[in-house]
Amino acid sequence: MTLDEICQEQFCKSFKLPSLGASVAGTDRGVDASSEFDQSVHRYKQFREESRSRLGALDSAGGVEFLYGALPALLQSGLSSCKLPGAERMDEVREAVTEFLSGYEEAYQPFSLHDIAFKVLERGLFRSVPMVQPSLDLGVGNGYVSNYIFRGQMPTVGSDPLMAPFQFHQEYRRYAHSLCIDATQIPFERDTFATVYMVHSIDHVRDRGAVLAEMHRVLRPGGTVAFSDLSEFAPELMPMGTLCKAMGLDELSSDPSRFFMDMAGESREFWSIDRYRKALAAAGFEDARIQYFCSPRLARFCWAWFEIHLAMNQMDAHLTALRSGRYRHLRESFFDFVTSSLTPFLARDAELCGAVQRGFNFFITARKQGASSPAVPHAPGNGAGDTFDFSGRLVCPACKGKAVIGQESVRCDRCGMQYPVIGSVPLMLPAYAIAYGRIRDELARHRWRRYLPAIRMCVLRRPWLCRVFNTFRQMFAR
Ligand SMILES: [Zn+2]
């Protein structure tokens, strides 16, 4: 499914209306039956379905105990034979891990091994970039991660293309303004923001180049962009393929990583440092700094667990059980395993990545050419958006015409496109505007029903019409 289709699906669902169908959406990537990639993904999906249905036939407690009890025990025992020496920042990192895990009641991420590793590392990296206001955060999802990373700070605008998970983010009150945005069509005037963040979301977008161009357009001269992405080493650091090969299942060996790429995003490719450097320069950025994070052993370790999880389960299948009192022992032992096993790797991550010049992810910062805008570092607690002219800088994502905020929708002055506002969040994607238009047309088409009483009065006042009407009624009654 493309982003447009997902958006429209969600929008229709929120109005309890049937889906509008793929015809409304933009171009569909489709499944190319002849492509090796698609065949590979299809094969792995079948393998997954099979393993899930076999598991489903067993007692369901087996799955949660295996993933959160047996598998961690195995991994932890393996690691105890290759311990890392302690690092300086151990206590600080352990605290950061504990803090991330403490939100297990509200989000799924504390039960996801690779998320824990990525986000603790990303917190350190993103917080090293001063938050100069106004700032924009692209792709916040359910808000749990951004709330964790930016704790104590308030980015001016928080955004995500999808409205469903995004509704949760508002509970954290982490942003001065919230809206739905497609990172390839940002609905703000050029030179609006001093800082743009994108925490591990660019890998979900079809065209990374288009995102870089848009981030550059909305940044003020001298403004900073900071984002993270999977590196070109990611596929080879996913161990499931190697495991399949080692077991003699050669046909499956490249399927797991392709399946993940298909699941994670529309682009199906990872960029190298070189490619990023060229693309950043072409988009008009300078002073690009690119560093790896999540060292190979940590990545393999987390990904082995995650891929087995993926092969057996839906990500959230065990959440209710793990949060319940019945599985408290399992939850606590899993969190103990996470804290004791991950902390040494997380504390030494920069050093470990540097030694081999690779890692599972990139952290990238760059500056838009031009004079630095006056730096106004944000102090915790002061309303970031107070001085930001939100409505004055909003534009239509499709034509970049001036957008005017109304009660129910945001209307483009130039092309007339109307973007719906749901729960005070403007949905600034053409896909939502199209779905909204369709729904309004649909309602308008049924408006004739309101004239029914008047028609009935006309009929009743004319005796001959009444007779015709009764004749027909009797005919149909028989
Ligand atoms: Zn427009």
∠ Cα 66 340 65 (to 5°): 10
Distance (angstroms) between ligand 1 centre and the Cα of 200 equals 29
Q: What pLDDT is stored for residue 24 in this prediction?
A: 40
Distance (angstroms) between ligand 1 centre and the Cα of 402 equals 7
Distance (angstroms) between ligand 1 centre and the Cα of 199 equals 28
Q: Which residue has the tokens 């409205």?
A: 163
Q: Does 387 or 328 have the greater pLDDT score?
A: 328
Average confidence score pLDDT of the chain: 85
Q: What pLDDT is stored for residue 254 in this prediction?
A: 82
Q: What pLDDT is stored for residue 315 in this prediction?
A: 59
Task: Tell me the pLDDT tens digit for each residue of 182-239.
Answer: 999 999 999 999 999 999 999 888 899 999 999 999 999 999 999 999 999 998 898 8
Q: What pLDDT is stored for residue 379 in this prediction?
A: 44
Task: Determine if the peptide bond prior to 463 is cis (ω within 30°).
Answer: no
Q: What pLDDT is stored for residue 28 in this prediction?
A: 43
Q: Which one, of 2, 53, 57, 65, lies nearest residue 28 by Cα?
A: 2
Give the percent of the chain with pLDDT over 90: 46
Distance (angstroms) between ligand 1 centre and the Cα of 411 equals 8
Q: Which long-range contacts (CB under 8 A, 24 or more apart) does 328-333 make?
A: 330/64, 330/65, 330/68, 330/69, 331/68, 331/104, 333/68, 333/69, 333/72
Distance (angstroms) between ligand 1 centre and the Cα of 162 equals 20
Confidence tier at 350 by pLDDT (50, 70, 90): very high
Task: Return all residues near 8 (Cβ < 8 A) that are at least 6 apart.
Answer: 19, 20, 24, 25, 431, 432, 434, 435
Q: What pLDDT is stored for residue 477 in this prediction?
A: 66
Q: What pLDDT is stored for residue 132 in this prediction?
A: 94
Confidence tier at 16 by pLDDT (50, 70, 90): low
Confidence tier at 449 by pLDDT (50, 70, 90): low
Distance (angstroms) between ligand 1 centre and the Cα of 223 equals 26
Q: Which helix (H) or strand (E) holds 117?
A: helix 113-127
Distance (angstroms) between ligand 1 centre and the Cα of 72 equals 52
Q: What pLDDT is stored for residue 58 in this prediction?
A: 65
Task: Give me the residues near ligand 1 (ion), CB cutoff below 5 Å.
Answer: 396, 398-399, 401, 412, 414-415, 417
Distance (angstroms) between ligand 1 centre and the Cα of 426 equals 15
Q: Are 161 and 7 in contact (CB under 8 A)?
A: yes
Q: Does 37 or 449 have the greater pLDDT score?
A: 37
Distance (angstroms) between ligand 1 centre and the Cα of 437 equals 14
Distance (angstroms) between ligand 1 centre and the Cα of 187 equals 10
Distance (angstroms) between ligand 1 centre and the Cα of 8 equals 19
Task: Tell me the pLDDT tens digit for each residue of 143-193.
Answer: 899 999 999 999 999 999 988 777 777 788 889 999 999 999 999 999 999
Distance (angstroms) between ligand 1 centre and the Cα of 417 equals 6
Distance (angstroms) between ligand 1 centre and the Cα of 257 equals 39
Strand 219-230 with 285-293, pairing: unpaired
Q: What pLDDT is stored for residue 134 in this prediction?
A: 95
Confidence tier at 439 by pLDDT (50, 70, 90): confident
Q: Does 95 or 317 have the greater pLDDT score?
A: 95
- Answer whether residue 353 shows pLDDT above 90: yes
∠ Cα 146 223 184 (to 5°): 60
Q: Max Cα separation, the chain?
A: 99
Q: Which CATH number fits domain 34-368: 3.30.9.10, 3.90.550.10, 3.30.530.20, 3.40.50.150?
A: 3.40.50.150
- Answer whether residue 245 shows pLDDT above 60: yes
Confidence tier at 13 by pLDDT (50, 70, 90): confident
Q: Are 308 and 240 in contact (CB under 8 A)?
A: yes
Distance (angstroms) between ligand 1 centre and the Cα of 37 equals 37
Task: Tell me the pLDDT tens digit for each residue of 26-81.
Answer: 334 455 666 888 888 888 888 888 887 777 766 566 778 888 888 899 888 888 87
Distance (angstroms) between ligand 1 centre and the Cα of 373 equals 29
Distance (angstroms) between ligand 1 centre and the Cα of 206 equals 23
Interatomic CA distance for residues 153 and 127, integer angstroms: 10
